[in-house]
Amino acid sequence: MVTWAEFQAAAPEIAAEGRRLFYRGDHGEALLATVRGEEPPRIHPISVGIVDDRLYAFINRSPKRRDLATDGRYALHTHQNPAVPREFAVRGRAQLVADADVRSAVAAQWSFEPDDTYDLFEFSIESALLGLRDDPDEWPPRYTSWSAAAALDLREEPRTAS
C-alpha cells in the first residue's frame, strides 16, 4: 500500500497540484468510481480528505460502500473548473479502517460530522495522472503520470506525455 505521504515524497509536484484540485472548494471533493465483479463501474460524488498525510473518505452504507468492501478497486477524479480545466486522478485500492482512534482523529478534521452510517476508507495509490491546461482552448492537456509499481521497481521519475 502506497500512502498519500509516500506518493507525495515520490512525486511532489503531482501530489501538490492534486491536493489543490481536491480542495478547490471549501472541502475535499471528487468523483469516485467503484467496481464489483463483472458489473459495470459506478460513479459517485464524494467528500475526500488528506488527513495526517493519508487519503480518506467517509462512505455511507450504499452500493459504493459494498463495492469498496467487496472489491476495493477505485478511481478518484477531481471536479473540473470550466475556466481552468485542470484534472487529477488517482487509482488504487481502498481499505476499510477499523481502528476507532484513527476514525476519531480523521472525523475531527472532516467537513461534516460522520455518524455511524458512515465507514472510513483509506485509499492507497497505485497510479496518478495530472492533466494541465491553462485555459479551455488549450488542447491537448499536458499530462504527467506516476506509477507506484514503476517508482518502486525502477525508481524512475514521473513521466510527461503530450
- Contact of 122 with 95, CB cutoff 8 Å: yes
Position 157 pLDDT exceeds 80: no
Whole-structure pTM value? 0.89
Report the pLDDT value the prediction gives residue 81, as an integer from 0 to 100.
86
pLDDT of residue 26: 85
On the question of pLDDT at 97 being above 80, the answer is yes
Residue 110: pLDDT over 80: yes
Element (H, E) at 153: helix 148-154
Q: pLDDT (tens digit, 9 = 90+) per residue, 36-53?
A: 888 899 999 999 999 999
Share of the chain above pLDDT 70, in %: 93
Residue type, 152: L
- Name 25's Cβ contacts closer than 8 Å, sequence gap at least 6: none
CA trace torsion 54, 44, 162, 86 (10° rounding): -80
Q: Which segments of 1-86 are extended strands (E)?
A: 29-34, 42-47, 49-51, 54-60, 73-77
Amino acid identity of 55?
L
69, burial (CB in 10 Å: exposed 0-12, middle 13-18, buried 19+): middle
Domain containing 86: what range? 4-161
CATH number of the domain at 128, please.
Answer: 2.30.110.10
Strand intervals (E) in the chain:
29-34, 42-47, 49-51, 54-60, 73-77, 87-96, 118-123, 127-132, 142-147, 159-161
Given pLDDT bands bounded at 50, 70 and 90, which one contains residue 126?
Answer: very high
* Confidence bin at 84 (pLDDT 50/70/90): confident
**Structural domains in the chain (count):** 1
pLDDT at 39: 86
Q: How confident is the model at residue 151 (pLDDT cuts 50, 70, 90)?
A: confident
